[in-house]
């Protein structure tokens, strides 16, 4: 809960923003087509995705040109914006491939390209000059003078460096005409806004080309040169020694302050995260944005409770409150996982509603159905059948099942199970 003096300031600034009809956008990741459809169904105003080229997520599902056409048609039907990541730093020999890609992309009529390389921007301006340009977090934009540089070169939006405090963001917003986008949820990087060379140095996998192996999350020990078989702990607990692990970002409780500061788009990290992660974060941030836009004091403890139910490292507010401590400690390496995603609700003419199994669950288990709008309901599994009518004792990954669901269940809803303690 915000202190009273903060709430008064937030409410004053929010009233000004409401008068301008500037409710912030909820920008969600889409690692593949099913995640895109889930993000839209659970409340995204916009989604961002990549192709196999130049998008900084080499191991996400990514989209072919044919899939991009389908994604554009789907998002247009639902009034959702579609942004494509082209935020890699290109070598000279790759510009020709970028030019060919841009020619292929022009007919899809995407809402914006997300870029970090000035050479990419210049190439877009040559091939597709009317396309909107958004500046990626990879650019490390820390001041409005940098924003003005990008604006003069044709950008319409800039993603703020994750190292900025709330005061920095207010000052930034007051001094730029660009739309401001900031991350509010997801993994944080130990490098400055993600510009890391560790993966390249250890594995030859270039983080700044979308191929990061996340070696900053591994266990490390110090070895002295003349004692190669002895490891020395720097800071140790029962899980080992961890040097570079960062907590995950979660700013759901600070959305009123960010709205009042002038942020136009709230971005959730996670193109490589699960379908369940996309649905859960979208439904929470959608509900929070709608309610806090009307009343910035309307803090619902369910938002944080729901976000705790997706796999994550310990949550933190990053640098938003001005801390110099980046919260990189030994205990921050472990994942917190309280629930399993066990099924996805589908529907067809032959079978009606049925469940696509994602993880094992059993007859007698207590499960929970979740849908858009913070709908959720616990129910007990009394019987499980295959689509052919055979009774089975358990649901398995990749199975196609019939089972009794809460009355309001719809295709696209998700089913989860609380993990037993110690599992």
What was the pLDDT predicted at 206? 65
| Mean pLDDT comparison of 79-83, 231-235, 321-325, highest-scoring range | 79-83
Contacts 24+ apart (CB under 8 A), 72-77: 72/108, 72/109, 72/110, 74/36, 74/37, 74/40, 75/36, 75/40, 75/47
What was the pLDDT predicted at 238? 42
| Mean pLDDT comparison of 240-244, 334-338, 375-379, highest-scoring range | 375-379
Classify burial at 126, counting beta carbons within 10 Å of its beta carbon; exposed 0-12, middle 13-18, buried 19 or more: exposed
Q: Average pLDDT in the 28-35 region?
A: 95
For residue 281 the two structure tokens come to 């974060």
pTM of the shown model = 0.86
Chain segment 185-204, per-residue pLDDT in tens: 998 876 655 566 666 666 77
pLDDT at 209 over 90: no
Question: Could you tell me the domains of the chain?
Answer: 4-192+246-333 (3.20.20.110), 193-241 (no CATH), 339-418 (2.40.30.10)
Q: Is 164 helix (H, G, I), strand (E, B) or coil?
A: coil
What was the pLDDT predicted at 162? 85
Q: Which residue has the tokens 């301006």?
A: 125
Phi-psi category of residue 87: left, alpha or beta, with phi > 0 → left and psi -120 to 50 → alpha: alpha
Question: What pLDDT band is residue 17 in, cutting at 50, 70 and 90?
Answer: very low
What was the pLDDT predicted at 144? 96
Average pLDDT, the chain: 86
Say how far apart CA 325 and CA 331 lie, in whole Å.
Answer: 15
- Backbone CA torsion sign across 126, 181, 214, 231: positive
Those residues with Cβ within 8 angstroms of residue 153's Cβ, 6 or more apart along the chain or in another chain:
118, 121
Those residues with Cβ within 8 angstroms of residue 5's Cβ, 6 or more apart along the chain or in another chain:
none
pLDDT at 72 over 90: yes
What was the pLDDT predicted at 421? 76
Q: Average pLDDT in the 110-123 region?
A: 96
The answer to whether residues 313 and 47 touch, using CB atoms and an 8 Å cutoff, is: no
Of 231-235, 241-245, 254-258, 386-390, the range with the lowest mean pLDDT is 241-245
Chain segment 385-404, per-residue pLDDT in tens: 999 999 999 999 999 999 99
Q: Which residue has the tokens 């709205």?
A: 259
Q: Which residue has the tokens 């956008």?
A: 25
Those residues with Cβ within 8 angstroms of residue 247's Cβ, 6 or more apart along the chain or in another chain:
188, 313, 314, 315, 316, 318, 327, 328, 332
Q: Which residue has the tokens 């979660």?
A: 250
pLDDT at 249 over 60: yes
Say how far apart CA 217 and CA 188 lie, in whole Å.
Answer: 11
pLDDT at 33 over 90: yes
Say how far apart CA 268 and CA 29 lie, in whole Å.
Answer: 7
Percent of the chain with pLDDT over 90: 68
The string of DSSP codes covering 59-89 is TS----HHHHHHHHHHHHHTT-EEEEEE-SP
């Amino acid at each position: 809960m915000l202190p009273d003096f903060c709430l008064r300031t937030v409410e004053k600034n929010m009233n000004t923003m409401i008068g301008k009809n500037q409710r912030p956008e909820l920008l969600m990741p889409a690692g593949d087509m099913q995640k895109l459809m889930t993000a839209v169904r659970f409340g995204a105003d916009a989604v961002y995705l990549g192709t196999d080229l130049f998008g900084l997520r080499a191991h996400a599902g990514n989209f072919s040109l044919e899939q991009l056409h389908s994604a554009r048609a789907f998002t247009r039907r639902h009034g959702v914006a579609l942004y494509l990541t082209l935020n890699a730093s290109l070598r000279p020999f790759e510009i020709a491939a970028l030019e060919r890609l841009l020619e292929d992309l022009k007919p899809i009529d995407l809402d914006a390209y997300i870029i970090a390389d000035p050479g990419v921007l210049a190439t877009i301006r040559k091939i597709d000059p009317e396309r909107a340009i958004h500046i990626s977090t990879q650019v490390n934009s820390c001041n409005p003078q940098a924003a003005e540089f990008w604006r003069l070169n044709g950008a319409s939006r800039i993603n703020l460096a994750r190292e900025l405090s709330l005061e920095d963001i207010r000052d930034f917003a007051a001094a730029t005409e660009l739309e401001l986008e900031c991350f509010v949820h997801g993994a944080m990087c130990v490098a400055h806004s993600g510009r890391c060379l560790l993966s390249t140095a250890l594995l030859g996998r270039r983080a700044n080309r979308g191929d990061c192996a996340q070696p900053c999350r591994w266990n490390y020990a110090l070895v002295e040169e003349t004692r190669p078989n002895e490891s020395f702990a720097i800071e140790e607990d029962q899980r080992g020694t961890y040097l570079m692990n960062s907590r995950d970002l979660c700013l759901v409780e600070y959305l009123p302050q960010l709205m009042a500061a002038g942020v136009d788009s709230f971005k959730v990290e996670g193109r490589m995260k699960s379908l369940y992660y996309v649905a859960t974060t979208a439904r929470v941030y959608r509900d929070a944005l709608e309610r806090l836009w009307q009343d910035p004091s309307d803090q619902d403890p369910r938002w944080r409770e729901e976000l705790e139910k997706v796999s994550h490292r310990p949550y933190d507010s990053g640098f938003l409150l001005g801390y110099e401590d980046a919260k990189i400690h030994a205990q921050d390496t472990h994942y917190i996982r309280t629930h399993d995603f066990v099924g996805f609700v589908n529907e067809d003419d032959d079978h009606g509603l049925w469940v696509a199994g994602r993880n094992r669950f059993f007859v007698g288990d207590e499960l929970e159905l979740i849908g858009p709008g913070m709908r959720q309901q616990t129910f007990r599994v009394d019987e499980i059948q295959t689509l052919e009518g055979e009774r089975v004792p358990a649901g398995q990954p990749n199975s196609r099942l019939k089972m009794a669901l809460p009355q309001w269940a719809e295709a696209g809803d998700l089913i989860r199970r609380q993990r037993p303690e110690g599992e």
